Amino acid sequence: MTDLLFADARLLDPASGLDAPGALLVRDGRIADLGSNLGRPDGAVAIDCGGAVLCPGLVDMRAELGEPGGEHRETVASAAAAAAAGGITTLAALPDSRPAIDDPALVRLLRARGEETGSLTVLPYGAVTRGCRGEELAELGLLHEAGAVAFTDGARAIGPARLMRTALSYAAGFGARIVQHPEEPGLAAGGAATEGELATRLGLPGIPAAAEAILVARDIALARLTGGAVHFAHVSTAAALDLIRAAKAEGLAVTCDTAPPYFDLNETAIGDWRTYAKLSPPLRAEADRLAVVAALADGTIDAVASDHAPRDPDDKRLPFAQASAGGTGLATLLAVTLAQVHGGALPLARAIELLTAAPSRLLGAAAGTLAKGAAADLCLFDPDRAWQVTAGRLPGKAQNTPFDGRALEGRVIGTWKAGRRVFGG
């Protein structure tokens, strides 16, 4: 493999605090050297970055893949193509597929399916309960041994307090996190939108915003009780973020992420029955969106995940309450996050940290940094290049983006996996 020299780049590596102009040398799929005065070794192919940002390949800590069982919506291969276009080189896959990832063999299968793409490392989550049905505990130990990075029932909340307590206690034994979909199931049942004026006008069954804070409060208490580690996925309300902020201050093993829709959109996006904007949790009021932005800046939110949920047209071309919840997010993850940088809410380095080093740390992954010797998983992007999201023209199979029509600044120029170019050029 020929050496690659990324010249004239803005090297950005939040893991090491690096943000400086320079070059980066890739040899045998690994980062051989980087710095401001790096010469071109003989035989190295130079890539002129033209001052664009070179950062670690993004680490997406929450995405649904179509496989197994939903191949008509997305496959590992089509998701990998979308991920590469979005600068993502490592992705944690949710287990609530059909069958659910509740068996060690399925964990190994998903990892292997990722390797087959050559562009994406797939880190499988293991199911907390068998079939993600919320009844009996899955074989967490065996799943962990097979390579499950953490445990979750995906888009389904772990409802019974006793079950959550057991899961937290048991997983703590081998240092694994339980990732919760924080929505009190009884309050959320049958709901299609956040309860409030808009849901009332549209005649949609509402989910009170408090459904999130209630489960977060309970699980924080259970983390305190068990000493286990809980991670709240796609947190979307001010009340839940306040609870998480306090739990962190107390020193509990509590972490959380959010997804771009929750800091870029509010509930008005569902006006005119736009089912592409039907998500779970549902989009919130503007005050909650602002609280999410503030929590990204102050560190309450640890990471930003795509929350990619591929759906096909038949899932979405339905009356709103009957339509399936979920939106794609791989191709838009970086640019929508950068909108917060352009808007002045986040420094660029913090935004990239939320997409690289931070999720990598939470997953215990060997990714998300530009360290010497690390795999050359790289993302080269122009933070100012403008483009427009158009459903139907996105990379990958699923096109159900909640950002349809959104004008964005920040575009991936190229993505490299272990030194091999997998997007752009």
Partner 1 sequence: MRHLLAIEGMHPPHIAALLDLAESYVLLNRSGQTPRDRLRGRTLINLFFEDSTRTRTSFELAGKRLGADVINMTVATSSVNKGETLLDTAATLNAMNCDLLVVRHGASGAPALLAQKVDAGVINAGDGTHEHPTQALLDALTIRRHRGTLENLTVAICGDVLHSRVARSNIHLLMAMGARVRVVGPKTLMPGAVERLGAAVFHDMAAGLADADVVMMLRLQQERMARGLVPSAREYFRFYGLDAAKLAAARPGALVMHPGPMNRGVEIDSAIADHPQQSVIREQVEMGVAVRMAVLDVLSRGVGNA
Residues acting as catalytic residues: 307
Residues 186-215 that bind partner 1 (CB under 8 A): 195-197, 199-206, 208
- Asked if 271 touches partner 1 (CB under 8 A), the answer is no
12 to each of 276, 351, 356, how far by Cα in Å? 34, 11, 11
- Asked if 276 touches partner 1 (CB under 8 A), the answer is no
- Whether residue 164 contacts residue 182, with contact meaning beta carbons closer than 8 Å, is answered with no
In the complex, what is the shortest distance from the CB of residue 311 to partner 1, in angstroms, rounded to a whole number? 13
Number of residues in contact with partner 1 under rule CB under 8 A = 22
- Whether residue 417 contacts residue 88, with contact meaning beta carbons closer than 8 Å, is answered with no
Euclidean distance between CA atoms 425 and 413, whole angstroms: 8
Dihedral pair phi/psi, residue 232, rounded to 5°: -95, 125
First to last CA, the chain: 18
- Asked if 286 touches partner 1 (CB under 8 A), the answer is no
In the complex, what is the shortest distance from the CB of residue 275 to partner 1, in angstroms, rounded to a whole number? 9
List 248, 273, 297, 312, residue binding partner 1 (CB under 8 A): 273
In the complex, what is the shortest distance from the CB of residue 274 to partner 1, in angstroms, rounded to a whole number? 10
235 to each of 183, 205, 263, how far by Cα in Å? 10, 21, 10
Q: Which is nearer to partner 1, 147 or 208 (CB)?
A: 208
Helix 348-355 with 333-342: angle, nearest 10 deg: 160
Euclidean distance between CA atoms 106 and 113, whole angstroms: 10
Q: Which is nearer to partner 1, 42 or 272 (CB)?
A: 272
In the complex, what is the shortest distance from the CB of residue 72 to partner 1, in angstroms, rounded to a whole number? 15
CA 310 to chain centre: 14
Structure tokens at 196: 């409030």
Residues 6+ apart with CB under 8 A from 36: 20, 21, 22, 23
- Asked if 239 touches partner 1 (CB under 8 A), the answer is no
In the complex, what is the shortest distance from the CB of residue 398 to partner 1, in angstroms, rounded to a whole number? 18
144-166 burial: b if 16+ Cβ within 10 Å, else e: bebebbbbbbbbbbbbeeebbbb
Residue 289's Cβ-count burial label (10 Å; 0-12, 13-18, 19+) is: buried
* CB atoms closer than 10 angstroms to residue 317: 9
In the complex, what is the shortest distance from the CB of residue 407 to partner 1, in angstroms, rounded to a whole number? 24
In the complex, what is the shortest distance from the CB of residue 145 to partner 1, in angstroms, rounded to a whole number? 40
- Residue 126, strand partner residues: 151
Residues 307-346 that bind partner 1 (CB under 8 A): 314, 317-323
List residues near partner 1 by CB under 8 A.
195-197, 199-206, 208, 272-273, 314, 317-323
